[in-house]
A and B are shown apart, each in its own frame.
Chain A
């Protein structure tokens, strides 16, 4: 064998930079990719708007209920919009892996959980925009809201944490299933079935007893109860879950449930992503 004279290299010092810089770069990239796929932005909005503007008023007419029922359903559709939107955002993660730049991002000198967090930032921003559109459109349609400063905070906290948790579920699913078709096949079970059980169209106490108990354990039930408490000053959903006297205590407990859901699902998403990223 022949030998070559080795030329030697001095290790370059590690990068010293703002740790938020890669997060902003990744979030900017994800936002641009989402903006170039308008269906990702529009499709999740269609069903909730249909429910809020068409089905809720139609139910009101057919069932001869008051305008409160329209508001009940309109706020309930937020519980459909958030899961649908976050699950659609998860599709982008799959596309990254199948035909996109995921391998390049994994080769970058950044901590890999940042990839999940950057996607979350964009999913969160788009979901916030869509929830604002839904509420705005419902308001223009004449659906009444009754909120206060504190109520708005309960609403924002519940929506934010529930969005984080659902995005964690989407990212976990995207890391676990190998193909888009399999991902889409699982979306109804995750995004739609809980919505019917969580008091979206009727109070959970209207369900059979067994299902009522199941509903009490769904994070979406807690999130919707908080949304209605925040936007409609209606604590009935919280009472149906906790059966306590102090509304603030019940709201805090429900927020704790949604917060735990968010923390758990996000942690699982990061762990699953980082484990599946390295073979």
Chain B
């Protein structure tokens, strides 16, 4: 018996010496929704590529439902499906034909494929569209079709590579609901990559934050937030944010987990009264444009761990 996904010291160095993934390890339990967060270039897509056997690991390996992705790639692919970051469909074929091709290639019995496609089309709101060429679908419809296609073979593991990127806010919200519904059913283990923090918080049981090819944090969203305490002070200064952070650290107001993004400095309070911190900031003589106290969010966790880099 195995975890749905076991990754041990997985690494990838591309020709030219680019180290995209630098020895990451994690396990995903069956039925879990596991998220990988990180800025562009953090190694998320390369990791998915290795787990779906599209990228050859440079060292160590991983198991998908017990199947080694290097030693038994066919078996690993047979129990998994992928929804890719970009649209990956045959546009001139109908939606139904796209689903049928997936069903046949994944070995779904023809007598099961028809009812399965009908069921998924109804569940994902595609029933009226199924006979139309995919070229006529909107972005959201096409994305739903790709999710339906991935589910046609009842995968044990579903990889979603930034599934909502590029969609308008309304369609994105609908799609997040849909993915949350998949997670609730617990039939399928889901690994999703994203750099939308609200999406990660809503969907994922656990999160790994990737930065520069390494996992810099791995826990539940709640536990990750809890590392910053109950309250933080967010200070926006008129001048140099880095200098302001230095002053706050020197004065003992900012601890090791305080961080800065541009001219905004974020200081976790860790139980200290907010009023004391604000008074300390005023005494330090910083030109504060705005001072806010609030509970930490996943954004704060992410920005602290990724060194304030913003996802493009």
Contacts and interface: CB of A to CB of B under 8 A. Distances in A.
Interface residues of B, number: 54
Nearest to B73: A109
B156 A12 contact: yes
B196 interface: no
A179 interface: no
Nearest to A21: B104
B29 A101 contact: no
A133 interface: no
Interface stretch (A30-38, A144-152, A213-221, A245-253): A30-38
A110 B101 CA distance: 12
Interface stretch (A3-11, A134-142, A158-166): A3-11
Contacts of A99: 87, 91
A33 B92 contact: yes
Interface residues of A, number: 39
B89 to A, nearest CB: 6
A111 interface: yes
Interface stretch (B218-226, B234-242, B275-283, B288-296): B218-226
Contact of A103 (B29, B54, B74, B92): B54
A8 B223 contact: no
Nearest to B205: A4
Contacts, number: 133
B29 A102 contact: no
Contact of A109 (B78, B89, B98): B78
B54 A277 contact: yes
Nearest to A14: B75
A109 B75 contact: yes
Interface string B243-255: 0000000000000
A4 B75 CA distance: 27
Given A4-B206, A11-B75, A103-B88, 14 more contacts: A2-B219, A6-B29, A7-B31, A9-B2, A9-B65, A14-B74, A21-B104, A25-B104, A99-B87, A101-B88, A104-B89, A109-B75, A109-B77, A279-B14
27 contacts: A4-B32, A4-B206, A9-B1, A9-B2, A9-B3, A9-B4, A11-B2, A11-B65, A11-B75, A12-B78, A14-B74, A22-B105, A25-B101, A25-B104, A101-B98, A101-B101, A103-B84, A104-B82, A104-B88, A104-B89, A104-B102, A104-B149, A107-B82, A109-B74, A278-B55, A279-B14, A279-B49
